[in-house]
């Protein structure tokens, strides 16, 4: 789509959101923001990112900290496994690459916590290469524009995205699509009349602009299912250990039982899973737990 290639960067230069990580070119700080933003909203991330990179300003600072220190500073960001991933990634970057983030996709994919999307995001936002960084929001935008379907096959979306990136402006182009997704092409009630691509959008010019009921219903079900879920219970245990040096399994169980949102759980399996994922560790004496 010529319009997707020609209009997005000029639109972005005028309308881009003022986000704190857009004021730095430091690879570590950009990666920290990227990990935080995965599955967590910008408004929630922005102040926490500033505080986090003040506490841990470099790969070396994260790598030399304990996992527990990183998890404590991650409080309020959700998905605590991302804190563990950032710590492991920092150690790998320091130990294997001398503190310099590689620009080779194969090397990036060997780093802890880096999958295909994160590798593309690093290549685009850190190394300024013309790589599409297709997350769920960009897939929705390009799906609506090019196919009239926010759930269009990812391979088709990536093909369109790669062809639409203006040479040398891949980073700004990806950021532009992210801002379009946040400001106009939202999941529910997109503001099509204000969209700079309305005239060429297949959804705005024939298909239904609102998301298919299956997508809206699935999002609602995910929100409703959070409480009384294993994810909630795991986060609760980590929060308990943020505020206490050590707790016994019995103390953790008592506090979970007192939380009406925790629901039913099997304590041994819950704790074993957290230990396996590196989020907590069993201390001394046996049966007591703490952050790593």
Dmax over CA atoms of the chain, in Å, equals 67
- Catalytic residue status for 13: no
Of 73, 76, 107, nearest in space to 93 by CA: 107
Residue pair 102/130 in contact (Cβ under 8 Å)? The answer is no
Residue pair 74/52 in contact (Cβ under 8 Å)? The answer is yes
Residue-by-residue DSSP string for 73-128: HTTTS--THHHHHHHHHHHHHHHHHTT-----HHHHHTSTT--HHHHHHIIIIIT-
Return the residue matching tokens 């759930």.
151
CA-CA distance, 237 to 254, in Å (whole number)?
11
CA-CA distance, 236 to 242, in Å (whole number)?
10
Strand order in the sheet with 288-290: 247-248, 288-290, 281-282
Q: Hey, is 204 helix, strand or coil?
A: coil
> Which are the contacts of 148, defined by CB distance < 8 A and separation ≥ 6?
202, 203, 206, 207
From the candidates 6, 34, 281, 282, give the one annotated as an active-site residue.
Answer: 34
Beta strands in 216-264 (DSSP E): 247-248
Region class of 234: left (phi > 0), else alpha (psi between -120 and 50), else beta: alpha
Which residues are catalytic, by number? 34
């Amino acid at each position: 789509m010529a319009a997707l290639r020609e209009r997005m960067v000029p639109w972005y230069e005028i309308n881009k959101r003022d986000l704190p990580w857009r004021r730095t070119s430091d690879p570590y700080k950009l990666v920290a923001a990227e990990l935080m933003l995965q599955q967590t909203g910008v408004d929630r991330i922005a102040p926490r990112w500033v505080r986090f990179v003040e506490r841990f300003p470099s790969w070396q600072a994260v790598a030399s900290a304990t996992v527990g220190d990183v998890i404590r500073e991650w409080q309020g960001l959700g998905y605590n496994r991302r804190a563990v991933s950032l710590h492991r990634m920092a150690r790998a970057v320091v130990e294997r690459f001398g503190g310099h983030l590689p620009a080779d996709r194969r090397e990036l994919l060997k780093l802890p916590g880096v999958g295909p999307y994160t590798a593309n995001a690093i290549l685009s936002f850190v190394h300024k290469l013309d790589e599409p960084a297709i997350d769920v929001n960009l897939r929705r935008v390009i799906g609506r524009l090019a196919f009239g379907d926010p759930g269009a096959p990812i391979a088709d979306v990536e093909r369109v995205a790669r062809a639409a990136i203006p040479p040398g402006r891949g980073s700004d182009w990806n950021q532009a699509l992210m801002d379009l997704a946040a400001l106009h092409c939202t999941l529910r009630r997109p503001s099509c009349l204000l969209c700079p691509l309305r005239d060429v959008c297949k959804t705005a010019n024939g298909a239904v602009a609102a998301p298919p009921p299956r997508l809206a219903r699935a999002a609602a079900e995910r929100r409703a299912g959070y409480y009384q879920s294993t994810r909630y219970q795991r986060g609760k245990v980590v929060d308990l250990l943020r505020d206490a040096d050590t707790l016994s399994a019995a103390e953790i169980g008592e506090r979970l039982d007192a939380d009406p949102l925790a629901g039913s759980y099997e304590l041994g399996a819950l704790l074993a899973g957290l230990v396996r994922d590196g989020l907590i560790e069993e201390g001394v004496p046996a049966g007591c737990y703490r952050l790593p």
